[in-house]
Structures are given as C-alpha cells and as structure tokens.
Amino acid sequence: MNPIILLQKMKNWIRSNPQELLKTPIYTIHSHEAKSQDSDKAGKFFTLNAPDWINVIAITEENEVIVISQYRHGTDEITLEIPGGASDPGEDPIESAKRELLEETGFISEEWESLGKTAVNPAIMTNYTHMFIAKNCKKVAEQQLDGLEEIDIEFISIQEFLQKIVKMEIDHSLILSAVAKWLIKEANLSRIM
C-alpha cells in the first residue's frame, strides 16, 4: 500500500452543533456531532480543549537531570517528573519552557534544543506538548511557585533517570515522549534497525 495515496483517500469528518459542556481552570469539555465523508458513520463526540503545554529535559553542568516531585491529583500520588507546564496565552513555547524551568527549579540554560511537539491525545484532546532539552543548566534563583504548587527538586544521573523510567518510577507519558525524541536524536539505534 502507498501511504501517500492512503492519506489522501481518508477524509476528515464533518462537524456540526458544537457545544461547551464544562469549564475547569485548565481545560474545557466540548461536544459536537460528526459524520464521516467516507461512509455513513456518524455520532456525538467529546473533546477536551486546553492550551499547549511544554516540558524540559534539563541537564545541569554536572551532567545530572533535574527531576521534580509533586502531588498529582489525577493519579492521587507523589510523582517524579521533569519541569513543565502550560503556555500562557500568546507565549512562544520556548519562552514557556524557560519560564517554567526558572519558576520550578531556579535554573537557566543557554543551550536549548527543541525536541518537537507531541499530540497529547489526538483522540480526545486538542492540544500539543512542546518538548525541549536544555543542557548545562545553572542555578540563578530560588523557586517561585504558583498558588497551588508544591515541588521538590532532585538531581539524578542520566543513567539513573533512564533506570527510573524502566522501573516506572518516572512514568508520565509526556516525559516518556520527550525521552523518545531525545533518544532517537542522540542514541545509537543500529541495534534495532
């Protein structure tokens, strides 16, 4: 099968009757009706609309990854993550990433690289997460946390960071997404291709 022909063949569904059902501080839930152009399938669908998010694999001058721990309300547990957050309206993703890294950890970097963006969940969510790697990070300030944030900081070796992913002590899908992009960019993939 030729993928180009295939992608041209399938068409977006046609939407109608959009409604806002619920507004929370970080997203809104909408519904709409949609009908396939390729068949007679049709139904009502729900989307979670949120601003784009960012996250940062931040590596210090000592070659350690900056990880943060915080209580998370979705899974009701203390998680180990990398710095991240939501873009403010009109803010470039790279500026959001620099701001969140500084606010959550007090660190800055002069070596930023984009790892691209990932669709958070194209089936039900509208937004993307822009992922970055920042190297040679250095501490210049204290944390400045938002109203409801409580964040502790740790520093672990890159090897320990990857081991914690294997052991599922770091398991947030958006962190794993950044790691996938980083590994494809910098690891030696000869064994698997």
How many residues bind a copy of itself (CB under 8 A)? The answer is: 91
Here's the x/- map for a copy of itself, 34-63, by CB under 8 A: it reads as: x-x-xx-x-x-xxxx---------------
Q: Which is nearer to a copy of itself, 140 or 189 (CB)?
A: 189
d(CA 56, CA 94): 10
Binding region for a copy of itself (CB under 8 A) out of 28-36, 93-101, 102-110, 136-144: 28-36
Q: Does 189 bind a copy of itself (CB under 8 A)?
A: yes
Q: Which is nearer to a copy of itself, 17 or 39 (CB)?
A: 39
Please tell me the total number of residues recorded for the chain in this structure.
193
Coil vs helix vs strand at 160? helix
Binding region for a copy of itself (CB under 8 A) out of 64-72, 92-100, 105-113, 136-144: 64-72
Nearest to 56 by CA among 108, 20, 18: 108
Q: Does 94 bind a copy of itself (CB under 8 A)?
A: no
Q: Does 17 bind a copy of itself (CB under 8 A)?
A: no
**Cβ contact 15:33 at 8 Å:** yes
d(CA 87, CA 99): 9
Taking every pair of Cα atoms in the chain, the longest distance, rounded to a whole number of angstroms, is: 59
